[in-house]
Amino acid sequence: MEEIAKHGAIGFAAMKSNMDRKTARKYVAAGKLPSELRSPRDWRTREDPFAEHDAEIEALLLATPALDVLTVFEILCDKYPGHYELGQVRTLQRRVRSWRAAHGPEKEVVLAQQHRPGEAAQTDFTRTTELAITLAGQVFAHLLCVFALPFSNWRWATICLSESMAGLRKGVQRALFQLGRAPKYHQTDNSTAATHRIPRGSGVVVDGGKRPFNAEYLAMMRHFGMTPRTTEVGAKEQNGDVEAANGALKRRLEQALLKRGSRDFTCAAEWQTFIDQVVRDSNARRGPRVAADIEAMRVIAVSRLPEYVEQDVRVSDWSTIRVKYSAYSVPSRLIRESVQVHLYEDRLEVYFAGALQLACDRLPGRNQRRIDYRHVIWSLVRKPGGFARYVYREEMFPTIAFRRAYDSITTQHAGVRGDVEYLRILHLAASTMESDVEAAITLLLADRQSITSDKIKALVATEARVPIPEMPPLGPDLARYDALLTDVAV
């Protein structure tokens, strides 16, 4: 119509509109747009197979409004065998939906709320599987703790390994100190990170079916001067702002990753820095609503909470400690001593008399074990007969090369003699460098030579005797300093 108004050439106007000339002529002759010529459809392409039993379907829905469409279809199939086919379910779904819209029960209305600046923050965890992030080539399974302000949609995201109190504390603290302010309320769902279940038969009555808050979570809320609140049970729409922020954040991260051209990062810290930059750029576009949020909130005047939980644990005679249902080995000199464990979300640190004794990654799940052969090898060498049925025997093979070495040794020397030979090699690895011992084992295996502790020791000693190049002593030329002073003066 615009092209016709310009020059009146119908052929040129049809070509510009990517339209057939005859179709364009029809619209010009009618003087109406295509949407204005469309007439409502008042016919059916085929007969309604459920028309004859319409009254029965309506009676079923009136008697039991909660009946599923598939259940109604199964009732009809049982009553009239061979009359209906599975491909007709979609037709019944349309009929039932239309009937419920015209005659069905009233539906619950979601009441849109007006958010006030700086009043509340919402926190939720979201999975990141679809982003397919890797660290140094290895898949990185993790969550994001997303903190959002409903009024301005300002948000912050923190990498977490689990939906736990430790993850929640880390995520909330990072967001609050990024803002420098704290809202009046902090809202979460009824997850176990902030709340706990009431055991049946405990006699505790909770209003509305809500679960009470954990003591750690309440302590964090008191520290930052926020009032905790949760959504109603099964009403996740009450946390809708942060739920929507989860999807928007992951879509923005996906686009940023496509722009970057790679999903691989050297470490979790690099990935967190990438997330921070993406979220910071997004928040910068929020405009004056963020300023209104910040102005209405209270300035944070407290320090950060420690992001770990302290536990006092006694070291067993096995030279192990149990933390959160998993076993960790510690230096054997600590046997029967009490140590202090700092349990972070992703790692743990073991202290004795204020000195750090062990730092390692935290094991996920339960009944896991992390046994370092260096902590027990001295006892195994003295008592080699216990190796065959040692509880942590499989942990005594630090790499596949050590396992292959043990298999090769036991083909020549069965029983305790083979165990002694292998334990001497493991002792050498603990005393020198594991990588050097592994390289020596790999060399002997490649040459198809028999493996003995003496051969490994000789090879490691040869590697250790690498000549160190001699360098002449450096004689400083003081005249150059005078030249520098001359240049400055000039």
Read off the pLDDT of residues 65-107 as tens digits, 9 standing for 90 and up. 888 999 999 999 999 998 888 888 999 998 899 888 888 888 8
How much of the chain exceeds pLDDT 70, in percent? 91
Q: Which two tokens stand for residue 229?
A: 């609140």
Which DSSP string corresponds to 338-356? EEEEEE-SSEEEEEETTEE
3-state secondary structure 439-451: HHHHHHHHCCCCC
| Cross-strand pairs, 358 | 350
According to DSSP, the residues that pair with 33 across neighbouring strands are none
DSSP-assigned letter for residue 123: E
Which pair of structure tokens corresponds to residue 438? Answer: 């592994």
pLDDT in tens, 362-371: 998 888 999 9
Average pLDDT over residues 461-475: 71
Q: What is the mean pLDDT of residues 368-392?
A: 94
DSSP 394-426: GGG--SHHHHHHHHHHHHHS-THHHHHHHHHHH
Kind plus residue range of the DSSP H or E element containing 146: strand 143-149
The pTM is what?
Answer: 0.65
Which residues, in sequence order, are CB contacts of 313 under 8 Å at separation 6+?
A: 321, 322, 323, 338, 339, 340, 341
Measured from the Cβ of residue 48, the count of other Cβ atoms closer than 10 Å reads 13
pLDDT value for 490: 44
pLDDT value for 380: 94
Name the burial class of residue 305, with classes exposed (0-12), middle (13-18) and buried (19+) by CB atoms within 10 angstroms of its CB.
middle
Q: pLDDT (tens digit, 9 = 90+) per residue, 400-440?
A: 999 999 999 999 888 899 999 999 999 999 999 999 999 99
What are the pLDDT digits (tens) for 182-191?
A: 999 998 877 7
pLDDT score at 286: 83
Yes or no: say if 272 and 174 are a contact pair by the CB < 8 Å rule: no
Cα distances (Å, whole numbers) of residue 364 to 124, 131, 269, 367, 368: 21, 21, 19, 9, 7
pLDDT recorded at residue 473: 81
- Look at residue 159 in the predicted model and tell me its pLDDT: 94
Mean pLDDT of 104-113: 76
| pLDDT number for residue 238 | 54
How is residue 330 written in tokens? 């510690």
Distance CA 170, CA 345 (A): 9
Q: What are phi and psi of 161, to 5 degrees?
A: -95, -20
Does residue 169 surpass a pLDDT of 70?
yes
CB atoms within 10 A of CB 472: 5
Q: Using one digit for the tens of pLDDT, what is the confidence trace for 146-166? A: 999 989 989 999 999 888 888
Which 3 state secondary structure label does DSSP give 227?
strand
Counting beta carbons within 10 angstroms of the beta carbon of residue 91, is it exposed (0 to 12), middle (13 to 18) or buried (19 or more)? middle
Instruction: Kindly report the CATH number that applies to the domain delimited by 120-197+211-299.
Output: 3.30.420.10
Q: By three-state DSSP, how is residue 104 classified? A: coil
CA 31 – CA 404 distance, rounded (Å):
86
DSSP 8-state secondary structure symbol assigned to residue 149: E
Neighbours of 231 (CB within 10 A): 18
Please name the residues in contact with 429: beta carbons below 8 A apart, sequence gap of 6 or more: 373, 398, 402, 437, 438
pLDDT averaged over the chain?
86
- The domain ranges of the chain are 2-36, 51-103, 120-197+211-299, 309-370, 374-464
Q: 256-295 pLDDT, tens per residue?
A: 999 999 999 999 999 999 999 999 999 988 888 899 999 9
